[in-house]
Structure 1
Amino acid sequence: MFKHDRIIYAEFSADLQDKPDWNVAALRSFEYPLNVTAAAIEPLAGLLAVGTATGTLYIFGGPSVEAKLVIPESEPVKFLQFSSSTFQLVCLDEKSRLHIWDLSTIGKPNKLAASARFDRATSMTLSPSHSHAFIALESGEIRTYDLLCLRKSPYKMPNMWALYEEKTMATPMDLPVPASQIPVETVIHPRDVNLLFVAYSGGVILSDLTQRNTLRAYEFVLPAGAPGGSGYGHADILTHRHPAVTAIAIHPAGHFFAVGHSDGCIAFWAIEDEDEPLLVRTLDATNVNMVDMDQLEVARDAPSTEREPIYKLAWSSFSNSTDPRGGQTALTILGGLNMTEGEATGVTVQWLPAFNPSEPTNPTPAHASLHPFMRSAMQASLDPISDFFYCTPSVAQDFFLVPRSSPHFAGHYDPATILISTESVGDTRVLEAYQFPPPSFLVSSEPITEEVASSGSIVDDLASTLKSMALNDDPRILRLPTPLSFSSTGVLRAQLFNLDRDGYELFVNGEGEDLYALSLKGGAAWNDESKTRELKLAKFQMPRILMTQHRDRAAALQFHDMSAQLLVTTDAPIENHFPKPLPSLTIDLRTLLTDSAVVKKASPAFMEHAMIQAAYLARQSLECVVQFTSGEVIVYRMKSGSVSPPKAAEISDDELVSLEHVITLNDSRFSPYFLLTVGKLVSACAVSDIGFLAVAYAETLVIVDMRGPRVILRRGRDKKTERMSLLHTTDAVNITSLTWSVSRMDHDPQQRIRLIVGHTSGVAEILTVIRETNSALWRVDAEIKKVETVAHPLAGGTFVLDAKKGLPIRASREHLSQSLHPTPPDTHCILVTAGAKGARCLSDLTGSRISKTEWGNKTGTVCFVQIVEKMGSHALVAFTDHHEALAFSLPNLEHLSSFDLPATDTSTLTCDDTGDWLAYTVDKTSGIIQQTTYGTLFDFRRAYTLPDIDFSITKPVVPPQPQPVSLGPTSLLSSWFRFGQSMTGEQLDTLLGGPDRPIPEKAAKPQGSTADIQAGASSIAQAAAGAQSNLYARLQSAMGERGQMLSDLEERFNSLEEGSRSMVAEAKRRAAEQSAKSWFFGI
């Protein structure tokens, strides 16, 4: 303690004096992939994997199940797939090197063997029915790789299109084009693994793997005069054209397929007929392979239609159909859009009729490969019932369908989600997830019965209509795992803060299961057993919330729970993601930006960009203040739960606009309250828990009583202020710091509501808010006190502390309640202010100076300051851009220690009052956060180590391979292909592996006995039921059984030892008898 002006101040930093009292450490690091180049889904295990341009792979599963894998030399990921049959993750990089990871091991997936190299691979295809990968090379050759034996198999396929062209070229003028022989994609027949489609640029080859021959060759030629995808204005309209093949997809029945071409048209072929396609169409026209002489004459001089190539196709059937041929299907198309400036970008989905023809009345003609009746039935199943366009904010680069449960049909069967890879800012690529198929495809055809309510209103009808439209037409945006979601929505800033228990319970109340999250349940995450004691202490930590700001207006402000309590489990896997999303608290700006009141009052910059600059959350009242770069400030508050229609409130203040009438989503818990705008940029902002908001615009200050809302102070517009500004420079009077408190002053011993206004010059003004006499209204007292503090005060760098214990004195409900009673005479406070060059401590806000300190020139720039508390002791910590933290005692501001911070960029660091900090690194090209580091100043018994991941707990059991279905009714089963029979995956592995294929090695068993493996198998079944057993309990049980086995062995050895001794004793006895006999009888 020490005495100052007859006031004795306690030492607040008694237990923080020595360096061992501090332990700076990074607890967790989070990465957000910004350049996603490939994705893979394992529907049986419930896993999602993505690969990036930096050679990093990320695997996501159930709660806290995440893994990071790195490719040597950081080569970009080109292809990525799961092998369901071997439970592996298979990757092919840009240098055509194959990488394989085993997912059946506990912990980080094990990389298997050395990377296999191929010569300029163009595609990779895997099947859940066997363990071989087909690798297509630029040379046209198809190679095979044995994923089980980890070697290149001897089975090879030559360039079949080159052989086809050699046989079919009739004249020297028809010389093959070299590019036509490059394979684009290989697709395994969905119902016969013995058949392989190889799409070359010139056409498609159907090959029989067993017979090693070409069964069919499909070549699409546009006749002279046919428009194709380029239209009648094409320069070569009067010549035969061969648009290059770019994509292929097989109908789920397996009898016909679609081929995409470089001119944007799609050709549909019957497998039995290689002579003529069933149909050729673009996204907006049919029969584009036919010549229309009238159109040719009219449109010949018209400009050519610039259309995208068909980049990708996927043909899906759904489980709601009992038809073995697939029922109604969805054809998903990437590309084919008009390349006109301003055209929408995205993915097209066509809903097609079921293919279920009856039996033909007459036999197939002698010279026809396909019955005309069946041909007509196929064509009828290609006429779209409806279509839908997934409009993306930027160019769509790829898409991936997420099946519900089956890996068959190329992973396109019964998809529930579509992932779309899109371009983002700064040449990045991110993923977006949408509900699939579009709900409009599945709307019942039954007529809707209109019900007349006994009492209703236009508002009710409108809300009901909007709800119906949202439910039936537009696919819901689904939430990806947090790292991918942050990349997709473009996280720009992040802040960590804590809440008290009551505030936390109110804040997270109502957060149930996330119904609109991508369903990933794979694997299990187990806490480190060595951290059991630390985990038990986690329940005593303060709850923490992560608040993030995003580019996406639909998710502009998001909240995540980062409380340590989420990681606490008892003999079970971790049940929560960390951090845990709080989706019902997400603030969506879209409806706000279309409101007429906002459009009328807000600035054009706000309407065009609506970019959040900062956000503040009141810890008790939970009111959220959102500050925008254009100067607007919007206050959100928790919904009251009232179901009555919102009404537009009238506010007399010009600066305020009521937003209570703005309709928000039903599952959103925040609703807009009011808008504050004065036409200037915000320089400082502060919100209190007792209903007051202060916003500064350079030298202008506005204070709002949010109970009205009502402006109770406008300062900066009157002539007196303008005359004052002539005596001081504008920069000197600019306000850069605002702080609310309920405290006394040097000449006012009564606790009152105070606003501390910090100016750039170093002068701080103390404004007092008082209640009107005989009224419930509040006003700002005319008497304003001034005090000299520090120049260039930092935002958030002003604190008011209790003079006895050093506890912070905020504008809270408790302190407001105390201010209603006479303040005890021994109540004092300390004002702590920190600026760009140093810090000061003053007694009772406006009293004399207690202490001061300067940061020094060698420390760099101080970016953030915070008063932290540990075990009742408090200290001021300044964080610099030199990756350093400086600790000072309170209230005398003596330098305690300096610490190096394990963060890549400390200029973005924020810290809560318990010493936990968050720092992030921003990608320079996009401005989006690419990595976040969560750390603490007091790493004592903290349990934040990465959990142990067990993917094998949901290891998939692959369902049987789908069998061939008849072309017509079941009586026509013989109409299936005439050129071979289906085979099993095991038979195909034997065929591709060759006679010298080594016996596949069984997966390595985890340490422990057989009982351990049985316990693992049992836990798989239990995981399916939602009751997973504890990994460490199993290991402990296994160790116990191992000990029992050793005990049994010990008993056997002891028994053997006793037997051996008995045998030796018996031998000695008989030898002695023989010796005695020989001696006695003289033998």
Structure 2
Amino acid sequence: MLRDETKFSEGFLDQLTIPGELSAMAFEPGIGLLAVGTSCGTVHVFGAPPARISITLRPACRVKHLLFKSDTFLLICIDEKDNISIYDMSRRDPHGAALRHEGHGPRRAPPTASGTAAQASQLADAPMRVATHCARNAVLCAEVTASHSHMFLGLADGTVDAYDLERFIISPYRVSNLWWPVEEALRRTASPVAPSRLHVPLIIDIKTNPRDMNLLLLCYEGGAVLYSVRDKSVQMTYELHLLPGAPGPDPRAPFEEIWKERLCPATSVAWHPDGAVFVMGHENGALSFWNAKDEDKPLVVRTLDQTDIERPTAPEDTAALPSFGPREPVFKLAWSAFPAQGWASWGAAQESAKKDADVASDTVLTMMGGSAQGTTSSMLHTFHMSPMPGALLWTSRTPEAAHKARVALQQVLVPVKISAYHASATIEDFVLLPNLSPHCDGAYDPYAVVVMVGNDERLPMIAAQSAHRGVESFSFPPRPGAEHEYEPLHLPLPLAFIGRGTVLGSKLQSVPIAAYRKLLHGAHEEIPKGSVSDDVLMGGYATPYIVGGTLAHAEGIARQGQPRILVTWHLDGTLRFHDASPHLLLMGEANPRRGVVLRKPFPMPLPHLTISVRQALLDPSLAGLPSLHSLRRHPEQIQICDAHIAWDAAEAAAQLVSGQIMHIAFATDTVLGSPQLKQDPTALANDIQDMSLDASAPLTEFTSLESAVNPTSVGFKPAALIQLMPGIPTCSALCDAGLLALASGALLVVADLRGQDVVVRAGFGAGDYFSRQIGAAEDKIVAEESKSAITSLTFSVCRTEKDFILAPRLLVGRANGFVTVWTFEHGSMDSWFGFRSDSVRVEVKGHHLYSAVLDPIGQAAGMTSEDVQRAHIEQESVQAGLAQLDDTSFNILAYVSERLVVLHDQITGARIARAELPENALAAHVVCKNNARVLIAVSTSSIVAMSLPRLDAVHRIQRHVPSTQEVVASTPQISVDVQGNFVELSDGQQLRLWTAFATLPHGEPPIVCMYTPRTLPLAPGEGAGGYIASLGGWLGTTVATPLSAGAQLDAVIAGPKRMALPKLPPQIGTSVETREATSVALPEMPGASNAEQSGDAVQGKGWFDGYAKSISKYTSGSLRSQASLNMQLLHKRDAIIADVGDGIADLERNASNFFKQTRNSAFKAAAKEKIYSYL
């Protein structure tokens, strides 16, 4: 079957990493989408797992700003060249839809296309780009609100342009540089803080008042301006001056600086959710709180830990003030509120109210920056404040009332509690994730915060751009006084693979079904609410895309493959596991509107198996151990360079760059297989003290790490740290029987991990190995072997030409072509004994890539506990004369180097096949498909398939690897599994999944729909007119449009000559689309019985029972039941329309009553003010 070259084809399964450096973030609460931009000009949008898409800007420039317009679901991207690209998330790219309908499939480019597979995958589900625009100047900031349809662009010349997001054209409305008059007034008064006339005041930020969309707060370098869009006039001007004698943020500043007037440049602003107060951050780390109606003096001026820093004080009092030195600027501010505050106009958002009344009654101000320069910048501070008194919003304007209101506001602005989020590195940006409402600048009712962090100085530096910035997520708001104020939340897999999580190496391996079930125990625990990967709070959905089959064949296709586990090790010293099994792309849950919907990401992270080598070795309980002294002094050496997994034994070995090996065991309470130390605690403490005082304490080869184990956790746990040789191992191997082999140069060490004993130590001198038959000729061979470095280690239970009895063996390959066979036996007290038994010289060309011992059917012969037991039984039977040697059983050695493949009979016998590779290969493996086996060698530009055992060339496939923008190129690392899939780690630490059998039935990356909108709440201040306008727009009428304040403001900004609406294709519908690939006649898929007979198929039915039920439920519906459902929906629609009509009538009556009550209240307030004026 595999001799047919049409069965081979390169297929792109997924790209698991984000190329380039992270540069921007944004969140859309209406659907629930998180978007990030990169320096490579790509935008990645994440929704519910596994819904995610990638967009490449044209031209591909660094993304500078990302914004969402929630009411129309637009994604706005502004790059470093100030090109504005607008994407409609409710419409698909027509070019990608055309490719799908032509039958090319959404994940592979057509044969005549010039794009690569990865580029085609980005195009298939990408949203439609509806408009582009090039700004006339550099864009420094931008503001988008769901209340009206215009975007304000703050440009480098200090002006503000308006862009129409309905007509997709620049509007004639423009705001001039409003800070020019302020600076000119300072120059006319000859103020010492007046800037030069050559200075152009820059605009820093633009914020819309949350209660009145007509008011814009424009933040310039020198201060802020309150601007009325409708009146085109400046309402207020705010600037913070520190008078002579005011200590300011740094009381230890020079005396001359304190005793002169100082201007505090502004860096950021944020409105209080009620729109009456705002806060302004400054370059010197100060925060100034202002009443929007009072431009003369701020309410409060403070830093993180000091208040009233603007008040002049005597020199002796200033000297007594505590000082932490100069502070960093306040880079960003966000002021959050929660539904429990009880605003009547926000009643639609009450469904997302917090259950915790204490938290919901407060407002939370989030501040990035403002820390003292001597302290860490990896903290995000939050100020918990009391809610604004409602009486302050309608207070009188008399001096007495104004003074009382000012005092009350100052009391409200005193934080009840100050909390801090601790990130792993310097925080460079953050974004809040609201539950539903897009108002209040995206800060209303947030459930999480996502922070962008820079380089972690405690970790090694690498050249990959993706390692420069990372992302972390926490629950929001913090819970002051709780045991854990906040919890870390899950992130989508590509976001977890950047920054500290940058992938340094990976392996893709097929796992036995028994081991797979064992490892996945506990993986399906409920994700805590608020996680950014929670499908309840995140939008979008994904449906299977099956190549060469239909949904009815999904179970059969899944049964043809084995479970796969992707193992990765990362920059932060963690070893992580991910489920990459084929059923994750094939089977999901039935949905009556969308078909079969996938509910789990691919690959699916298994966080319960993650182990942090760095955290384990730096645990305080291990302080004083001599073997950890060097690592604790130089923690940058705690970095994994290779990992081996014994799936049947559930053990792992992680090799560090320093040369040590960490033994890791899977357990539920304590480490399995590790001897327990029984020692008096007092004696142990004395021993640790003695070791700390003795600098020449001997280093132990096995150091127990059990004291660093959490006994309540489930998964992999550190068992021991092993250091068996002076150098750094160049190759290693681990078997399921508990043996670990290490080699460095010509040195070889084999250790028993479970017994913590050295079994073989060779190359350290004469007589350091054991041989049962050694003579002069054999001694010369041994001497010649020892001159060459060891390049490969392979464990197997097999037979050799001289020893036809099954035995556990280790095949040691060297650079000069010698392959030495070491045989192991059980000695006394269940200990291992190893000796050199045979050798053979094979032909090699280049570096070693792959070696395996094949049985008669071509399957790789491993060394599990069952294999060792079978060999032991055969040895005892032959020695007792109860059985004879099996002459029909044999083993073949497959040895692959960069340019050559050779096969040897009975391991050390004659060469039976030889084949040269057309180019230097990077990886090779024996692959099994439908009980047929071939040898696959993968290089940078092709995939070569060879038959077994003749090594005839079956087919050569050309590869299409996308280019990268990395400055530093590296040799790709490739790991191939037994099913013909392979993972590639290329330039820039980019991780991609491929398959060599793209023409065979399989599941590819799913079809993604990111448009799953929810009803948005009205903006504050909309009132009854907003509800009527919203319902009128939903019913398709324009009668109530004039009642919308947003429409009135749009008319002012767009002017009288506003263009007509552009014609766009229809939005993505909610009907069930065809989600199956075009395919020819498909042979019947094998059933469960055939799958169980195959050695490579999944064993047992229990693995697929849940998925099979959902598929049968989806495919068994009849036309009659569908017609009945349609009639029920029609009747329900009539009832809903009738209820809407009644609701509109009630709403009109309530609106009339509301206006009457408002008018009466206004009359009463005016009368009171008139009376007070006579008093």
TM-score category (smaller protein): 0.7 to 0.9
Separation in structure 1 between the aligned mates of residue 416 and residue 663 of structure 2, nearest angstrom: 46
Q: Identical aligned pairs, as a percentage? A: 27
The answer on whether the counterparts of 1:567 and 1:576 sit within 8 Å (CA) in structure 2 is no
Q: Of 480, 485, 496, which aligns to 2:496?
A: 485
Separation in structure 2 between the aligned mates of residue 102 and residue 918 of structure 1, nearest angstrom: 33
**CA shift at 1:331, angstroms?**
1.9
Tell me the equivalent position of 2:1092. Answer: none
**CA shift at 1:727, angstroms?**
9.1
Alignment of 1:541-940 (within 5 A): 541-553=561-573, 555-569=574-588, 571-595=595-619, 596-597=621-622, 599-602=625-628, 604-605=630-631, 607-641=635-669, 649=677, 654-664=700-710, 666=712, 668-678=714-724, 679-717=726-764, 719-721=766-768, 732-772=787-827, 775=828, 777-782=830-835, 784-790=837-843, 797-802=850-855, 804-819=856-871, 820-821=873-874, 822=877, 824-836=886-898, 838-855=900-917, 859-881=918-940, 883-903=941-961, 907-923=972-988, 929=989, 931-940=990-999
Tell me the equivalent position of 1:458. Answer: none
Separation in structure 2 between the aligned mates of residue 521 and residue 1029 of structure 1, nearest angstrom: 27
Moved more, 528-537 or 416-425: 528-537
Tell me the equivalent position of 1:963. Answer: 1021
Moved more, 408-417 or 391-400: 391-400
- Which letter does structure 2 place at the counterpart of 1:311? F
Alignment of 1:208-357 (within 5 A): 208-234=228-254, 236-295=257-316, 298=319, 305-319=325-339, 327-340=361-374, 343-357=375-389
**CA shift at 1:688, angstroms?**
1.4
Separation in structure 2 between the aligned mates of residue 994 and residue 159 of structure 1, nearest angstrom: 21
The answer on whether the counterparts of 1:572 and 1:1030 sit within 8 Å (CA) in structure 2 is no
Moved more, 403-412 or 290-299: 290-299
**CA shift at 1:892, angstroms?**
3.7
**CA shift at 1:521, angstroms?**
2.2
Separation in structure 1 between the aligned mates of residue 532 and residue 629 of structure 2, nearest angstrom: 35
Separation in structure 2 between the aligned mates of residue 1011 and residue 810 of structure 1, nearest angstrom: 51
Tell me the equivalent position of 1:196. Answer: 216
Separation in structure 2 between the aligned mates of residue 565 and residue 624 of structure 1, nearest angstrom: 25
**CA shift at 1:699, angstroms?**
3.0
Distance 1:646 1:518, change over 3 A: farther
Q: TM-score, normalised by structure 2?
A: 0.74
Moved more, 512-521 or 414-423: 512-521
Distance 1:712 1:294, change over 3 A: same
- Which letter does structure 1 place at the counterpart of 2:382? Q
Distance 1:1040 1:941, change over 3 A: farther
**CA shift at 1:551, angstroms?**
0.5
**CA shift at 1:91, angstroms?**
1.9
**CA shift at 1:354, angstroms?**
0.3
Tell me the equivalent position of 2:541. Answer: 524
The answer on whether the counterparts of 2:547 and 2:1002 sit within 8 Å (CA) in structure 1 is no
Moved more, 143-152 or 815-824: 815-824
Alignment of 1:942-1021 (within 5 A): 942-952=1001-1011, 954-963=1012-1021, 984-998=1045-1059, 1000=1061, 1004-1005=1065-1066
Moved more, 866-875 or 659-668: 659-668
Q: Of 141, 144, 149, which aligns to 1:126?
A: 144
Separation in structure 2 between the aligned mates of residue 665 and residue 39 of structure 1, nearest angstrom: 39
Separation in structure 1 between the aligned mates of residue 273 and residue 293 of structure 2, nearest angstrom: 16
Tell me the equivalent position of 2:163. Answer: 145
- Which letter does structure 2 place at the counterpart of 1:787? V
The answer on whether the counterparts of 2:511 and 2:563 sit within 8 Å (CA) in structure 1 is yes
- Which letter does structure 2 place at the counterpart of 1:37? S
- Which letter does structure 1 place at the counterpart of 2:511? L
Moved more, 428-437 or 331-340: 428-437
Separation in structure 2 between the aligned mates of residue 169 and residue 683 of structure 1, nearest angstrom: 71
1:288-339 deviation per Cα after TM superposition (whole angstroms, max 9, x unaligned): 2122222488599x99943211111111223465588973222222222233
Moved more, 396-405 or 593-602: 593-602
Q: Of 403, 407, 425, which aligns to 1:376?
A: 407
- Pair 1:154 & 2:188 matched: no
Separation in structure 2 between the aligned mates of residue 366 and residue 17 of structure 1, nearest angstrom: 94
Tell me the equivalent position of 2:1149. Answer: none
**CA shift at 1:785, angstroms?**
2.0
Q: Of 405, 408, 430, which aligns to 1:399?
A: 430
**CA shift at 1:180, angstroms?**
6.7
Q: Of 87, 90, 94, which aligns to 1:101?
A: 87
**CA shift at 1:221, angstroms?**
1.0
**CA shift at 1:422, angstroms?**
2.2
Distance 1:1029 1:327, change over 3 A: farther
The answer on whether the counterparts of 1:736 and 1:792 sit within 8 Å (CA) in structure 2 is no
The answer on whether the counterparts of 1:759 and 1:792 sit within 8 Å (CA) in structure 2 is no
The answer on whether the counterparts of 2:395 and 2:405 sit within 8 Å (CA) in structure 1 is no
**CA shift at 1:530, angstroms?**
7.0
Separation in structure 1 between the aligned mates of residue 649 and residue 565 of structure 2, nearest angstrom: 15
- Which letter does structure 2 place at the counterpart of 1:899? I
Q: Of 466, 480, 489, which aligns to 1:441?
A: 480
**CA shift at 1:371, angstroms?**
2.3
Moved more, 55-64 or 872-881: 872-881
- Which letter does structure 2 place at the counterpart of 1:337? S
Separation in structure 2 between the aligned mates of residue 694 and residue 517 of structure 1, nearest angstrom: 42
Separation in structure 1 between the aligned mates of residue 532 and residue 667 of structure 2, nearest angstrom: 23
Tell me the equivalent position of 2:683. Answer: none
Moved more, 670-679 or 934-943: 934-943
The answer on whether the counterparts of 1:129 and 1:958 sit within 8 Å (CA) in structure 2 is no
1:789-814 deviation per Cα after TM superposition (whole angstroms, max 9, x unaligned): 34588666221111x32222111344
Distance 1:942 1:260, change over 3 A: same
- Which letter does structure 2 place at the counterpart of 1:664? N
Off by >6 Å, runs of 4+ in structure 1: 323-326, 362-365, 642-647, 650-653, 722-727, 1010-1013, 1027-1034
Distance 1:950 1:18, change over 3 A: closer
- Pair 1:53 & 2:39 matched: yes
Distance 1:194 1:24, change over 3 A: closer
Distance 1:51 1:404, change over 3 A: same
Moved more, 115-124 or 720-729: 720-729
Separation in structure 2 between the aligned mates of residue 85 and residue 303 of structure 1, nearest angstrom: 47
1:643-677 deviation per Cα after TM superposition (whole angstroms, max 9, x unaligned): 99999536999411222332238555111122211
The answer on whether the counterparts of 2:446 and 2:477 sit within 8 Å (CA) in structure 1 is no
Separation in structure 2 between the aligned mates of residue 585 and residue 267 of structure 1, nearest angstrom: 47
Distance 1:778 1:303, change over 3 A: closer
Tell me the equivalent position of 1:969. Answer: none
The answer on whether the counterparts of 1:646 and 1:661 sit within 8 Å (CA) in structure 2 is no
Separation in structure 2 between the aligned mates of residue 610 and residue 492 of structure 1, nearest angstrom: 13
SS in 2 for 1:506: helix
- Which letter does structure 1 place at the counterpart of 2:334? A
Separation in structure 2 between the aligned mates of residue 524 and residue 692 of structure 1, nearest angstrom: 46
Q: TM-score, normalised by structure 1?
A: 0.80
The answer on whether the counterparts of 1:744 and 1:844 sit within 8 Å (CA) in structure 2 is yes
Separation in structure 1 between the aligned mates of residue 711 and residue 53 of structure 2, nearest angstrom: 34
SS in 1 for 2:707: coil
Separation in structure 2 between the aligned mates of residue 793 and residue 346 of structure 1, nearest angstrom: 47
**CA shift at 1:718, angstroms?**
5.1
Separation in structure 2 between the aligned mates of residue 122 and residue 147 of structure 1, nearest angstrom: 19
